[in-house]
Amino acid sequence: MSTFTLLQLSDCHLHADTNTIGYQDINPFQSLCAVFDTLRDVKPDAIVISGDISNDYSHQSYQHLLRLLDTFFPAVTYRVLPGNHDEQQQMRAVYPAENCWETPLQLGNWHIHCLDTQTEQVAGALGALQINSLTQRLAGAEQAFHLLAMHHPPMNMHSWMDEIGLENLTEVQAILTGYPQIRAAICGHVHTAREMQLADVVVMSCPSTCWQWAHTAEFGLANEAPGARLLTLYPDGQISSRVIRA
């Protein structure tokens, strides 16, 4: 049985205009290019981009990411999933259906479930139809190891971002703790790298590929470099990860 490498990118906040500057005078397109350049020697088996790819809902912003994926990881399977800043219609227009969140992703005995937590608000939720589909897939593969990927964190991070987290947090946590085959959950949204434990499930957030949020009670920015998370999925169900920064 094999060990697999999963690369997580998140919160790119790209614009149609690649010269656009955001927080801390960071150009999100240039910082994403720097992250990709840092990762050029990484050989992932799959890539998950966990939401907020765009900052202006533009067709071009999604194309910018696609071109970088084609340049740096042309033969690697990837999945995109929506965040609160994304426009799903534009995502579907740019990314092939097999690379969107509904298409199952499996690496050996690891099943990776890419979920849509987008709502009409900044806060997120996992809808009833998705919960029903997810629980059926979990019940149908009890001997596999499962990893959930979503934009909004399935835990309180004890920072100002909790106010715009998952609205049905208790319901989502009941799924995470109710199925022993779930080993981990990864998320974006919080623009910071954290690892927390929810019962036997490790919950990992990803740094943004542009600006980083401060882990404080009030809104703030951190001075950490943009980055990504690299996960190693072992055949015995163990998991390890590290953060790579530009």
Angle at the Cα of 125 from the Cα atoms of 209 and 47, rounded to 5 degrees = 35
Q: Taking 90 as the threshold, does the pLDDT of residue 215 lie above it?
A: no
| Spatial separation of the C-alpha atoms in residues 74 and 245, rounded to whole Å | 21
User: Cβ(33)–Cβ(19) under 8 Å?
Assistant: no
Locate the domains of the chain by residue range. 4-245
Instruction: Name the band, by pLDDT with cuts 50, 70 and 90, for residue 1.
Output: confident
Grouping H, G, I as helix, E, B as strand and the rest as coil, residue 149 is strand
Pairing of strands 46-50, 4-9: parallel
- pLDDT, tens digit, for every residue of 8-57? 999 999 999 999 999 999 999 999 999 999 999 999 999 999 999 999 99
CATH class, domain 4-245, is alpha beta
Other residues' Cβ atoms within 10 Å of the Cβ of residue 117: 29
In this structure, are strands 77-81 and 46-50 parallel, antiparallel, or unpaired?
Answer: parallel
